[in-house]
Amino acid sequence: MITVKKFTFNAYSENTYVLYDESKECVIIDPGMYEGSEQNTLVNFIRENGLKPVLLLNTHCHLDHVFGNKFVFDTWGLKPQFNEGELPILQAVPGYAPSMGFTRYEISLLPDVFLPETGTITFGNSSLDIIFAPGHSPAHLCFYSASDSFLIGGDVLFYGSIGKTDLPGGNHAQLIKNVQEKLFVLPEDTVVYPGHGPATSIGFEKQHNPFF
């Protein structure tokens, strides 16, 4: 069984997730740590729970989701994994981060392995299915656990809302289509852990999300 631990980091209140199971292997998804205190919070949780980080995943590569990529590499030797279509988004971060006040951004390493549009990621005794859902960003991925009924949704679907589509590589119609065709087909009791804000569920969003 996968346990999901959420942290909320940086000025954008970005949700960073640590997923782990009884094997104690864990996956870090979208590390948003910017301040040293945030880095310490993540390290302390992992150490206190005896976890072994084995994967670093990015749903997408906007700056608030990759602030901690370099720190994770420095601490645990993990390079990020994401879909190759996000590479230009990651490579653009150093150019605009200072203008937004983030002068201490440490440049992320590039992947040795890119994630496909479909497939399965394994760690410990667990697995996650990859769902390709661009629209907020050009090659956004979500990570779904059928056995534990949850989705790490990044910035695709929020409680009562959806991801912004006015950023480079965004496409509103594409995002709406992907939510309807790839997320809303999941079981209604699937818990959605988004990149910002509180968790929600597929069933709740199908009934109440004003964008649908």
Q: pLDDT digit string (tens) for 30-80?
A: 999 999 999 999 999 999 999 999 999 999 999 999 999 999 999 999 999
pLDDT at 135: 98
Question: Does the structure show a pLDDT above 90 at 175?
Answer: yes
Least trusted range by pLDDT, from 54-63, 126-135, 166-175: 166-175
CA torsion through residues 40, 197, 5, 119, sign: negative
pLDDT tier at 167, thresholds 50, 70, 90: confident
What are the boundaries of each domain within the chain?
Answer: 3-208
Q: What is the pTM of this model?
A: 0.98
Residues 45, 107, 138: CA angle, nearest 5 degrees: 90
pLDDT tier at 168, thresholds 50, 70, 90: confident
Cα(106)–Cα(173) distance, rounded to whole angstroms?
34
pLDDT, the chain, mean: 98
Q: Which fold has domain 3-208?
A: Metallo-beta-lactamase; Chain A (3.60.15)
Residues 130, 135, 137: CA angle, nearest 5 degrees: 80
